[in-house]
RNA sequence: GGGCGAGUGGCGGAACGGCAGACGCGCCGGCUUUAGGAGCCGGUGUCGCAAGACGUGCGAGUUCGAAUCUCGCCUCGCCCACCA
């Protein structure tokens, strides 16, 4: 270098913005529908416009950007859009706290975040941007709501709903977190409230949502959704009561094989039969218990150490198999919303029933026993294995338990006392919110005709801007006379507008469809475009949406399919979750914790490419972890080295054609093996290992340069390939060096390199030699060296000889191309 | 309490059942520099002068061979949590 020309300093600031402007001016990232190349749709979950992009946003977006960029270089027409999830509580809270209108606050945040996004140099197609709080978008959210309403998939009903007392908002069941039941947004313990609510009938699709066949989803997400839906198979069984003219009590059980052991019954305190069945002498106690259960919040229920409380109601039922009279209780451990809200209690085979029976001195009768006949003492026998048989169960005694489930269910069915049944834990989606900043639910109430959908040609129902945001617990829309006043679509008479707005998850349940034909005034989407782009090829986002957004958007697509609005079953073929970047305190980044890390300073100091590459390098993308910028210097140094070797002067070393040379062959081998390795890593979203392989190639190039090989064909090929493979991760430096090397603009429109297997193949391999599995020596052989020859060489090795100590080997194991293991005789 | 996942150098992390620690950070030494920084070269799992021995949370097992598979335990993380 001493004599070489002075090289230009690595200064990303001198070119990064220049290229972004040029790409934008050239519409390099604008996706055209009529582009004939195969379509690929890559999407990252759009952000809430909280105000500033933090490193987590960069982390989440850079991964799919890399994949999208590679897809495009491979000859695809790639759509990679971005938008904003701009309805929701924080905007309304800002309005309350700072007296800024939610729309103003939101728009300003979007403006700022869009600008920050642009400094990433990602290939977002901003011409397709979707902002869900814009009337041109929520008009169609309302339209879709009405479509589902007409199809009976939306209904309004009274329901005990979770209520956040701080945000003063109804929560969907999925939005309540933790054992102590806190609000997912603010962490406040939630209450229960009885309110009339809008629901989406997601449970119509429970079974279909359990079917993941053909979907490439992470296992944890599939498991989460499966558990959330919570399908249980069993039977419903009717237990007649002694009271005349009253329907029998119907229970759900997954263990019909234990019905002979049902020695009492328990109803949820809310069960409709409680008041009719309760005897006069028990009425006072029962009513007190019911009232107490009603008052109890979920947290209080948790904090009572789960003691099984309950009271007898002074009535009896008949066990349909044993004909025994069994007492009926109410207890809050039986939930009103699951199964039938009533159980047959089998204390011998259910831990909860056992606890209750012990406490109330009720009979415990074992009716299933293991083959050994050994039953547990002082506990329920709940194991459910193959070798169990029924005992003390009338004609079924001796039958294997697994078989008895079907046999007993069959007999009950024939006798009209029961039937096979399936229940689910999943409930319908509470989709309405008593808040202002959301899409208004397009319904009006007429005294004459009740709830009426707003006619399509009157959409959107626009949110009024002149409202009072004082936090009252009711929607500000309730006090807006102009908004409330409406005409009945049916009779034209006076009507009152619905003031509930939609859960923001409704907006995000279809935004990916809107991207396919944004700005369309005629329809929510152009069916032809949706058919061409959907389903998505890759969808990425946080796993925290596992049972919320990621269930809802699947439900929506299935519902829309059944309405004939789309013709596919699932929103995305492939889903991947990035890990979460935590604050330096190892907590989730949040403004209230003050641990939010902004990338801006790092970007201005090191440039976007360095920040992107650093974020992708810190670890497996799906893992995340606490934020620390230590190590970013290493990435910056690497890109500076790339900058050095990528200069057209070959790094200042005079050229000499090294074709055919041993070193040149080694470099070509490195180049071509790197192509395959990096391509595979990008496909699997293993960005950290991809970058380490690019670093290795860079180091190989530098070694070559130092050996005086610069300037040959192999050398130029290595550098060009390095730049092409680097382009998705560090788009600016790749473009700058590509141009400097005299290649045609733009590197991002070049074909993806393809490895030549002949060049990638090694001509010598180093074979580890083990003795009894421990490394003792190495052999250098060619791939064609016969195994007998390898064995001979291994046994001749003096290191191996030492361990053999004159004995003949017991056997010699060879894994072709991998290793040799010499096994010595034992003892 | 149930389910799932993870425990590898000082740190982030690599490793189809086959060379443990790739790549990078940090650190140590050297060159360069008036100095600092940057850059470059070399070293860096532990013990040992070395030969070598020992090493992937702990303990067993399967195997010619285990970070990887099986069983038990410990720790951490996530999800669910009275779901009949």
Burial class (CB in 10 A: 0-12, 13-18, 19+), A588: middle
Q: How far is CA A548 from the centre of its chain?
A: 9
Residues with pLDDT less than 50, chain A: 1-6, 299, 302-304, 651-655, 657-659
Is residue A273 within 8 Å of residue A328, measured between CB atoms? no
Is residue A113 within 8 Å of residue A496, measured between CB atoms? no
Helix (H) or strand (E) holding A716: helix A713-726
Three-class SS state of A44: strand
Question: Measuring from the CA of residue A692 to each C1', which nucleotide is nearest?
Answer: B23
pLDDT of res. A653? 47
Residues 6+ apart with CB under 8 A from A501: A87, A432, A433, A435, A436, A437, A438, A439, A440, A441, A463, A475, A477
Q: How far apart are alpha carbons A687 and A696 in whole angstroms?
A: 14
Residues 6+ apart with CB under 8 A from A375: A366, A369, A381
* A631 CA to B46 C1' distance (Å): 25
Angle between helices A89-98 and A102-118 (to 10 degrees): 120
Q: How far apart are alpha carbons A151 and A619 in whole angstroms?
A: 47
Question: Measuring from the CA of residue A353 to each C1', which nucleotide is nearest?
Answer: B84
Q: How far apart are alpha carbons A536 and A74 in whole angstroms?
A: 17
Q: What is the DSSP string of A371-410?
A: TT--PPSSS------TT-EE-S-GGGTTSBHHHHHHHHHH
Is residue A87 within 8 Å of residue A133, measured between CB atoms? yes
From first CA to last CA, the distance across chain A in angstroms is 61
pLDDT in tens, A571-620: 999 999 999 898 888 888 877 778 888 899 999 999 999 999 999 999 99
Beta bridge partners of A389: A369, A400
* A619 CA to B8 C1' distance (Å): 15
Return the number of other C-beta atoms located less than 10 Å from residue A762's C-beta: 13
Three-class SS state of A758: helix
Phi, psi of A596 (to 5 degrees): -75, 130
pLDDT of res. A801? 86
* A738 CA to B29 C1' distance (Å): 39
Helix (H) or strand (E) holding A238: strand A232-239
* A501 CA to B55 C1' distance (Å): 62
Which residues from 705-724 of A have any strand B atom under 7 Å from their CB? Answer: 706
Beta bridge partners of A171: A162
Three-class SS state of A294: helix
Query: Is the minimum distance from the CB of A232 to strand B below 7 Å?
Result: yes
Is residue A39 within 8 Å of residue A70, measured between CB atoms? no
Q: What proportions of chain A, in percent to the nearest 5, are helix, strand and coil?
A: 40, 20, 40
Query: Is the minimum distance from the CB of A268 to strand B below 7 Å?
Result: yes
Burial class (CB in 10 A: 0-12, 13-18, 19+), A302: middle
pLDDT in tens, A489-541: 989 899 999 999 999 999 999 999 999 999 999 999 999 999 999 999 999 99
- Cα angle for residues A527, A530, A531 (degrees, 5° grid): 85
Query: Is the minimum distance from the CB of A618 to strand B below 7 Å?
Result: yes
Question: Measuring from the CA of residue A331 to each C1', which nucleotide is nearest?
Answer: B82
Is residue A726 within 8 Å of residue A697, measured between CB atoms? no
Query: Which one, of A471, A470, A476, lies nearest residue A440 by Cα?
Result: A476
Residues 6+ apart with CB under 8 A from A261: A346, A347, A348, A349, A365, A366, A367, A368, A392
Q: How far apart are alpha carbons A212 and A724 in whole angstroms?
A: 36
pLDDT of res. A304? 44
Query: Which one, of A568, A533, A525, A575, lies nearest residue A550 by Cα?
Result: A575
* A500 CA to B1 C1' distance (Å): 39
Query: Residue A30 is encoded by which pair of tokens?
Result: 């604008």
Burial class (CB in 10 A: 0-12, 13-18, 19+), A465: exposed
Q: How far is CA A252 from CA A82, A288, A415, A547, A780, in A?
A: 47, 26, 17, 25, 70
Which residues from 623-642 of A have any strand B atom under 7 Å from their CB? Answer: 623, 625, 630-631, 633-635, 637-638, 640-641
What's A248's DSSP letter? Answer: P
Query: Residue A298 is encoded by which pair of tokens?
Result: 């979920």
Q: How far is CA A20 from CA A75, A115, A210, A599, A732, in A?
A: 22, 12, 44, 18, 8
What order do you get walking across the sheet with A154-164 strand by strand? A169-171, A154-164, A191-200, A429-430
Q: Which positions of chain B lie under 7 Å from any protein Cβ? A: 1-5, 11-16, 18-20, 22-26, 38-41, 52, 54, 64-66, 78-84
Query: Residue A294 is encoded by which pair of tokens?
Result: 């009603």
pLDDT of res. A521? 92
Is residue A415 within 8 Å of residue A323, measured between CB atoms? no
* A86 CA to B38 C1' distance (Å): 46
């Amino acid at each position: 270098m001493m004599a070489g020309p002075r090289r230009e300093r690595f200064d990303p600031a001198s070119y990064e913005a220049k290229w972004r402007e040029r790409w934008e001016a050239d519409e390099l990232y604008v996706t055209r529908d009529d582009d004939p190349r195969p379509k690929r749709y890559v999407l990252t979950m759009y952000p809430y416009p909280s105000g500033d992009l933090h490193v987590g946003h960069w982390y989440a977006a850079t991964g799919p950007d890399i994949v999208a960029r590679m897809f495009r270089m491979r000859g695809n027409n790639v759509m990679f859009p971005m938008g904003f999830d701009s309805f929701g509580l924080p905007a309304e809270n800002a309005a309350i706290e700072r007296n800024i209108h939610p729309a103003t606050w939101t728009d300003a945040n979007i403006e700022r975040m869009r600008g920050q996004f642009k400094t990433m140099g990602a290939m977002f197609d901003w011409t397709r941007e979707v902002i869900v709080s814009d009337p041109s978008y929520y008009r169609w959210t309302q339209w879709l709501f009405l479509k589902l309403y007409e199809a009976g998939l939306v209904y309004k009903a009274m329901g005990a709903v979770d209520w956040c007392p701080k945000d003063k908002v109804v929560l969907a069941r999925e939005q309540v977190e933790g054992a102590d039941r806190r609000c997912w947004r603010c962490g406040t313990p939630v209450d229960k409230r009885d309110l009339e609510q809008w629901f989406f009938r997601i449970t119509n699709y429970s079974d279909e949502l359990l079917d993941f066949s053909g979907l490439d989803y992470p296992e944890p997400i599939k498991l989460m959704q499966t558990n959330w839906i919570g399908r249980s198979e069993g039977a419903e069984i009717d237990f007649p009561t002694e009271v005349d003219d009253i329907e029998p009590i119907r229970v759900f059980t997954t263990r019909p094989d234990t019905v002979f052991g049902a020695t009492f019954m328990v109803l949820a305190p809310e069960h409709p039969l409680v008041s009719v069945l309760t005897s006069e002498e028990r009425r006072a106690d029962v009513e007190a218990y019911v009232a107490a259960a009603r008052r109890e919040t979920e947290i209080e229920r948790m904090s009572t150490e789960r003691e099984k409380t309950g009271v007898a109601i002074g009535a009896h039922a008949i066990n349909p198999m044993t004909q025994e009279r069994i007492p009926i209780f109410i207890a809050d451990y039986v939930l009103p919303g699951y199964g039938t809200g009533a159980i047959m209690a089998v204390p011998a085979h259910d831990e909860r029933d056992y606890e209750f029976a012990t406490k109330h001195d009720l009979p415990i009768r074992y009716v299933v026993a293991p083959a050994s006949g050994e039953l547990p003492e002082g506990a329920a026998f709940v194991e459910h294995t193959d070798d169990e048989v029924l005992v003390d169960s009338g004609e079924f005694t001796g039958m294997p338990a697994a078989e008895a489930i079907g046999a007993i269910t069959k007999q009950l069915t024939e006798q009209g006392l029961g039937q096979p049944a399936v229940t689910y834990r999943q409930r319908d989606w509470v989709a309405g919110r008593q808040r202002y900043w959301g899409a208004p639910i397009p319904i009006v109430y007429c005294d004459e005709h009740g709830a009426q959908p707003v006619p399509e040609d009157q959409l959107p129902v626009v949110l009024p801007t002149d409202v009072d945001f004082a936090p009252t617990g009711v929607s500000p829309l309730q006090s807006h006379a102009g908004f409330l006043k409406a005409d009945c679509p049916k009779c034209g008479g006076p009507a009152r507008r619905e003031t509930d707005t939609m859960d923001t998850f409704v907006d995000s349940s279809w935004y990916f469809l809107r991207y396919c034909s944004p700005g369309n005034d005629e329809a929510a989407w152009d069916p032809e475009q949706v058919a061409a782009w959907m389903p998505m090829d890759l969808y990425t986002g946080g796993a925290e949406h596992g049972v919320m957004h990621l269930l809802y958007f699947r439900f929506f697509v299935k519902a829309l399919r059944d309405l004939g609005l789309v013709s596919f079953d699932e929103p995305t073929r492939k889903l991947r979750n990035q890990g979460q970047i935590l604050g330096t305190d190892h907590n989730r980044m949040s403004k209230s914790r003050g641990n939010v890390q902004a990338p801006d300073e790092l970007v201005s100091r090191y440039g976007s490419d360095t920040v992107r590459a650093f974020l992708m390098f810190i670890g497996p993308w799906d893992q995340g972890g606490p934020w620390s910028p230590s190590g970013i210097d290493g990435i910056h140094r690497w890109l500076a080295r790339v900058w050095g070797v990528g200069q057209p002067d070959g790094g200042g070393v005079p050229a000499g054609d090294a074709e055919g040379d041993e070193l040149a062959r080694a470099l070509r081998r490195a180049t071509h093996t790197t192509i395959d390795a990096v391509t595979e890593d990008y496909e699997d979203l293993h960005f950290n290992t991809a970058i380490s392989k690019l670093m290795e190639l860079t180091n190989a190039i530098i070694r070559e340069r130092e050996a005086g090989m610069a300037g040959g064909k192999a050398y130029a090929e290595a550098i060009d390939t390095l730049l092409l493979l680097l382009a998705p991760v560090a788009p600016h430096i790749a473009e700058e060096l590509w141009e400097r090397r005299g290649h045609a603009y733009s590197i991002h429109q070049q074909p993806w390199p393809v490895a030549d297997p002949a060049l990638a193949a090694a001509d010598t391999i180093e074979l580890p030699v083990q003795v009894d599995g421990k490394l003792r020596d190495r052999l250098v052989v060619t791939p064609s060296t016969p195994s007998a020859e390898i064995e001979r060489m291994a046994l001749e090795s003096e290191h191996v000889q030492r361990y053999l100590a004159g004995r003949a080997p017991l056997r010699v194991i060879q894994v072709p191309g991998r290793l040799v293991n010499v096994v010595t005789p034992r003892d």
